[in-house]
Amino acid sequence: MKRQELIEMSQQERDRLQVLKQARSRQITQGQAAAQMEVSERWVRKLLRRMKKEGDRVVVHGLRGRPGNRQIAEPVRARAVGLVKREYRDFGPTLASEYLAERHGIEASRETVRCWMLAAGLWRKRRARVERVHTWRPRRSQGGELVQWDTSEHDWLEGRGEKLYLILMIDDASSRALARFVRHDSTEENLRTLRDYLKRWGRPLAVYTDKAGLFKINRPQRIDEQLRADLPKTQIGRALEELGIAWIAAHSPQAKGRVERFFGTAQDRLVKGLRKAGVNTLEEAQRYLERVYLPLWNRRFTVPPANSTDAHRPLGPQHDLAAILSHVESRVVAQDYTFRCQGIRFQIAREAVRPGLRGARVRVERRLDGKLAVRFRELYLTVNRCEAPLPSQQQPPRPRREKTPAQPRQHCWMKGFDLQRTKPIWAVLYDERGQPQGDTAFPR
């Protein structure tokens, strides 16, 4: 009895076998069989000749069940899995494949590493999450047309050092990024980031941010502001207006897709890169960010804009960044040519006095380098800090006058009586025990 063999076939292979049998029995021509199988007639004739020797297995690929010639050797796979278990356990397949190639010389695609990690239990298949669908917005066509700006609060050093924030400005058209690590998400640090961006690429047409208090006054308008139709601006909002940069507010985090995706990638890649580099301080983190991560991002994850024309505008002579990117306040000059700022009194120098200065408002600029500049109209004034008088120069305090107790008012019939020495009536009629005294007792 002839032994039967079970051959696993796909639906396509079964269909091809049926066509070959019809061609062999001359139910259809070889040309028709080639058209149905989408191969040449020569290949159909070759398959029919091989079918006499191999039978139905002719439609099955000859390498099925055999290891591929380009398969990575088993010792290399075992070494790679061991390295991932020991050093890159929390890495994803893509990042793990890059570190295996760069640091250990193991060249394997991310899909190969993913299969290794799945087999070793180091990676789990992710289910597709059903999320709310947001309207897709195409990229801006020119670089500098729109720049997205935000800050990420994350444990970047994983407890090895102080808490850091990452401030990011990313171009919407190309995803080109500029970022800084800072200790505080403050107005001053955001202005420093803006200054670095302006010096490197120029003034963009618009910036796209959230509605945080750094960019927008989040309080109801007062009546006088409503009447004047004048909404007060933050220091960043004022600086953007003086630079001629439009401000656009995002109504949801999903609207700032470029920023959110950068932070999502950085919170995985950048955190692990800082860990492997042994970074523990702000200075080391900033150095790694500028020399390693940002060049990698701008090389791998940026795209060329649809329009090669750069929309950035150059800084002109009227754009004094030191004055614009500062904390600006308005102060009224007193009659003695002094004004107060941050609880300190300043005196305008005699040679800087100008007509109309008394009672006028001056612009006080506390700049990023800590210096103070005072401008009246278009002229900067020389000011000096008024020192507090020495203790010996201070006038002694006036002695306090003790108030004399008010005397009770005496009526005319009480004149001649000493109210301080006169006893009350009950003290005359009764003794200390409350018993009547002598003849003063009342009759029963």
Q: Quote the pLDDT of residue 144.
A: 93
Q: Are 98 and 112 in contact (CB under 8 A)?
A: no
Task: Name every residue whose Cβ is closer than 8 Å to that of residue 262 and which is 6 or more positions away in sequence.
Answer: 168, 170, 175, 177, 297
Q: Quote the pLDDT of residue 283.
A: 95
Q: Quote the pLDDT of residue 284.
A: 95
Q: Quote the pLDDT of residue 432.
A: 61
pLDDT in tens, the chain (444 residues): 556 777 778 888 888 889 888 988 889 999 999 999 899 999 999 989 988 888 888 888 877 777 777 788 888 889 999 999 989 988 999 999 999 998 999 999 999 999 999 988 888 887 766 555 556 778 899 999 999 999 999 999 999 999 999 999 999 999 999 999 999 999 999 999 999 999 999 999 999 999 888 888 877 777 776 776 667 889 999 999 999 999 999 888 778 888 999 999 999 999 999 999 999 999 999 999 999 999 999 999 999 999 999 999 999 899 999 999 999 999 999 998 999 988 889 999 999 898 999 999 999 999 999 899 999 988 999 999 887 665 555 566 677 777 666 666 655 555 555 555 555 554 555 566 666 665 544 444
SS3 212: coil
Alpha helices in 246-363 (DSSP H): 257-276, 282-288, 294-300, 321-324
What is the third-level CATH fold of 147-300? Nucleotidyltransferase; domain 5 (3.30.420)
Task: Name every residue whose Cβ is closer than 8 Å to that of residue 60 and which is 6 or more positions away in sequence.
Answer: 7, 8, 9, 13
Positive or negative CA dihedral for 265, 267, 273, 274? positive
* Closest-CA residue to 167 (of 143, 190, 198, 135): 190
Q: Global pTM?
A: 0.70
Side-chain-side CA neighbours of 188 within 13 Å: the count stands at: 10
**DSSP state, residue 291:** I
* Closest-CA residue to 201 (of 212, 193, 211): 193
Task: Name every residue whose Cβ is closer than 8 Å to that of residue 79 and which is 6 or more positions away in sequence.
Answer: 104, 106
Q: Quote the pLDDT of residue 199.
A: 95
Rounded to whole angstroms, the Cα distance separating 81 from 76 reads 9
Residue position matching structure tokens 């200075």: 283
Q: Quote the pLDDT of residue 220.
A: 75
Residue position matching structure tokens 């006036």: 398
CA angle 114, 117, 121 (to 5 degrees): 140
